[in-house]
């Protein structure tokens, strides 16, 4: 009774099992990618939802915490998640290709271009006129937050996204240092400024013994000192992984 039919069925069954086994390594990668994407979504929700969003309307230092969560936590988590989730990365790449965006994508994620875009977006939104416009208009505020996420997805892509292996460790270290300096210099200016920059906070009565200028100095310290921590952690992970 063990003829060719049984043998063929056995071969087909073995082939099916082999195919399933071969596909198993992709599952943990997809789950890992999903966990990073969900983590990014959670951080985004934390940053733009109460109570932090309400506190940020009252205190500048809380607004800086928002910005750090968007640029230095949510954005890199999203980039890692896309790269670690083959199906999602395939969808993104296919849709970009269909719209003829391959060349533009390569330009925007080139390290020099991405660094300049992220720096320009960060500094532009912290100019007093732009900042005050965003804090009083929800639509402008939403554009500000979206532009932070997009700009820093571009910034983190050369380090954490697909294709990152083409850059040397020396270049990665320089790139991280340049990115940290971009926010660090702005934070230092806020910290040591002799006067408050933003009219919105000047119009709000002081609370908890924190004047608008003291609030600004604290905000600068958050950006300057606390903002260095994600860069340091990512530097350790990236340089060790590629060392």
Provide the b/e sequence for 143-181 (b: ≥16 CB within 10 Å): ebbebbbebbbbbbbbbbbeebeebeeeebeebbebbbe
Rounded (10°) CA dihedral 165, 88, 72, 154: 60
Distance separating alpha carbons of residues 151 and 146, to the nearest angstrom: 9
Distance separating alpha carbons of residues 52 and 33, to the nearest angstrom: 27
Provide the b/e sequence for 88-115 (b: ≥16 CB within 10 Å): bbeeeeeeeeeeeeeeebeebbebeebb
List pLDDT tens digits, range 44-82. Answer: 999 999 999 999 999 999 999 999 999 999 999 999 998
pLDDT for 66: 96
Task: Identify the helix (H) or strand (E) that includes residue 178.
Answer: helix 169-192
Distance separating alpha carbons of residues 18 and 22, to the nearest angstrom: 6
Band of the pLDDT at 117, cuts 50, 70, 90?
very high
**CB-neighbour burial class of residue 213 (10 A; exposed 0-12, middle 13-18, buried 19+):** middle
Mean pLDDT of the chain: 85
pLDDT for 207: 66
Distance separating alpha carbons of residues 165 and 150, to the nearest angstrom: 22
Angle (CA) 199 200 201, round 5°: 95
Of the candidate ranges 94-98, 138-142, 145-149, 199-203, the one whose mean pLDDT is the lowest: 94-98
pTM for the full predicted model: 0.83
Q: What is the percent of the chain where pLDDT is above 70?
A: 82
List pLDDT tens digits, range 152-176. Answer: 999 999 999 886 667 888 899 999 9
Distance separating alpha carbons of residues 22 and 37, to the nearest angstrom: 25
Angle (CA) 120 126 128, round 5°: 130
Mean pLDDT of 203-219: 87
């Amino acid at each position: 009774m063990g003829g060719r039919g049984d043998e063929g069925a056995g071969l087909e069954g073995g082939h099916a099992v082999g195919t399933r086994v071969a596909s198993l390594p992709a599952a943990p990668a997809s789950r890992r990618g999903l966990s990073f994407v969900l983590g990014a979504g959670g951080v985004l929700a934390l940053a733009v939802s109460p109570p932090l969003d309400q506190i940020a309307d009252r205190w500048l230092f809380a607004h800086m915490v928002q910005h750090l969560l968007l640029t230095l936590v949510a954005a890199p988590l999203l980039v890692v998640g896309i790269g670690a989730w083959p199906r999602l990365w395939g969808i993104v790449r296919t849709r970009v290709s269909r719209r003829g965006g391959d060349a533009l994508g390569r330009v925007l994620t080139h390290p020099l271009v991405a660094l300049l875009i992220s720096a320009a977006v960060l500094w532009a939104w912290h100019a007093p006129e732009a900042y005050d416009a965003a804090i009083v208009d929800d639509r402008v505020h939403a554009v500000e937050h979206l532009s932070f996420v997009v700009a820093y997805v571009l910034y983190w892509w050369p380090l954490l996204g697909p294709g990152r292996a083409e850059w040397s460790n020396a270049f990665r270290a320089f790139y991280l240092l340049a990115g940290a300096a971009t926010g660090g210099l702005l934070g230092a200016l806020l910290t040591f400024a002799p006067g408050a920059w933003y009219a919105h906070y000047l119009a709000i009565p002081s609370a908890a013994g924190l004047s608008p200028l003291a609030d600004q100095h604290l905000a600068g310290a958050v950006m300057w000192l606390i903002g260095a921590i994600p860069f340091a952690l990512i530097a350790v992970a990236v340089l060790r992984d590629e060392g």
